[in-house]
């Protein structure tokens, strides 16, 4: 079958909130864009390009197709370095200071002309510029099968119109495609990556059981998913948590011994077979 690798670079044009966890009244962001978010953004854009943006089941069908024909890595903030880019990771010293900021808002009580009690909240985001004023980019990889159906033929055009993360209705998460560079072709049915000893994984690693040679925190791979109706007469779509929580090593876990991993759907890794 084979997979064609493309290196991606996006310029971040607006704040980006990649939902993580809540601490007090602060909604924290992850310091990266998970592969599932990239899949969702590409699925949404490709579906709208077909003229079926108002049909909930069309998103589901397109999502399954994208899931089958593409593989994604996670996107991480980067700064320009000459003609190239330097990628930064949340476990690097100074990452939070350099890239993260927050926005505070509250609901208003108009009769009393005051803030609604208990509804003050703060949303953390990856800023479009660093504390030093440099533009922020997002870098990662996409793997596409060599032969794609007609519905996916314009995927590169779709990359120019993506929006990632939460608060998109307020314009957050807007990006501009800077580079989609074709690299080497990978033969076989799976996309595999090698991680050297002492390095960190940059995606969730599925852990059905403890994996020898991996050291780091575990967390459930879970998120909000849209429950699309199958028929127009059914009730309106709603949001629900993932039906299944996959226990994973979190990005940043350290590989003790050099290992190979398979890039699966949503960019989640699993140990490669010997």
Q: What is the pLDDT of residues 235-271, one digit of tens each?
A: 556 666 677 789 999 999 999 999 999 999 999 999 9
CB 233 within 8 A of CB 6: no
What is the pTM assigned to this prediction?
0.90
Domain limits, CATH 3.30.70, in the chain: 1-189
N-to-C CA span, the chain: 20
Tell me the DSSP string of the chain.
--EEEEEEEEEE-S-BB-EEEEETTEEEE-SSB-HHHHHHHHHHHHHHHTT-TT-HHHHHHHHHHHHHHEEEPPBEEEEEETTEEEE--TTSTTHHHHHEEEEEE--EETTTTEEPTT--EEEEEE-SB-TTS-B-EEEEEEEEESS--GGGTTHHHHGGG-B-SB-GGGTTTBEEEEEEEEEEEE-SSS-EEEE-TTPBPSS-EE-SSPPTTEES-EEEE--EEEE--SSTTSPPPEEEE-SSPEEEEPTTPEESS-EEEEE-GGG-EEEPP-
1-189 is classed CATH 2.40.50: no
Residue 34 — very low, low, confident or very high, per pLDDT cuts 50/70/90? very high
Q: What pLDDT score was predicted for residue 105? A: 72
Does residue 44 surpass a pLDDT of 70?
yes
Residue 210 — very low, low, confident or very high, per pLDDT cuts 50/70/90? confident
Q: What is the pLDDT of residues 145-168, one digit of tens each?
A: 988 999 999 999 999 999 999 999
The CA distances from residue 112 to 18, 73, 104, 170, 189, in Å, are 34, 49, 20, 26, 63
Residue 56 — very low, low, confident or very high, per pLDDT cuts 50/70/90? confident
Residue 163 to residue 108: CA distance in whole angstroms: 28
């Amino acid at each position: 079958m084979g997979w064609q690798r493309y290196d991606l670079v996006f310029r971040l044009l607006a704040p980006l909130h990649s939902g993580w966890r809540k601490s007090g009244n602060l909604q924290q962001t992850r310091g990266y864009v998970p592969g599932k978010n990239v899949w969702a953004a590409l699925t949404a854009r490709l579906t709208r390009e077909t003229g079926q943006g108002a049909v909930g089941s069309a998103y589901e069908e397109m999502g399954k197709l994208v899931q089958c024909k593409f593989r994604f890595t996670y996107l991480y903030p980067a700064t320009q370095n000459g003609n190239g880019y330097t990628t930064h990771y949340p476990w690097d010293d100074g990452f939070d200071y350099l890239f993260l900021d927050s926005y505070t808002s509250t609901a208003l009580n108009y009769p009393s002309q005051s803030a609604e009690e208990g509804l003050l909240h703060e949303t953390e985001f990856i800023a479009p510029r660093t504390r030093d004023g440099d533009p922020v980019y997002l870098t990662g990889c996409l793997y596409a099968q060599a032969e794609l159906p007609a519905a996916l033929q314009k995927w590169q055009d779709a990359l120019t119109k993506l929006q990632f993360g939460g608060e998109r209705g307020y314009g957050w998460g807007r990006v501009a495609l800077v580079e989609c560079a074709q690299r080497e072709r990978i033969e076989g049915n799976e996309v595999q990556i090698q991680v050297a000893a002492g390095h960190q994984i940059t995606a969730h690693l599925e852990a059905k059981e403890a994996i020898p040679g991996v050291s780091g925190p575990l967390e459930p791979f879970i998120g909000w998913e849209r429950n699309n109706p199958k028929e127009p007469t059914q009730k309106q779509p709603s949001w629900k948590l993932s039906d299944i929580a996959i226990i994973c090593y979190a990005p940043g876990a350290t590989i003790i011994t050099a290992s190979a991993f398979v890039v699966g759907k949503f960019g989640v890794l699993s140990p490669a077979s010997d």
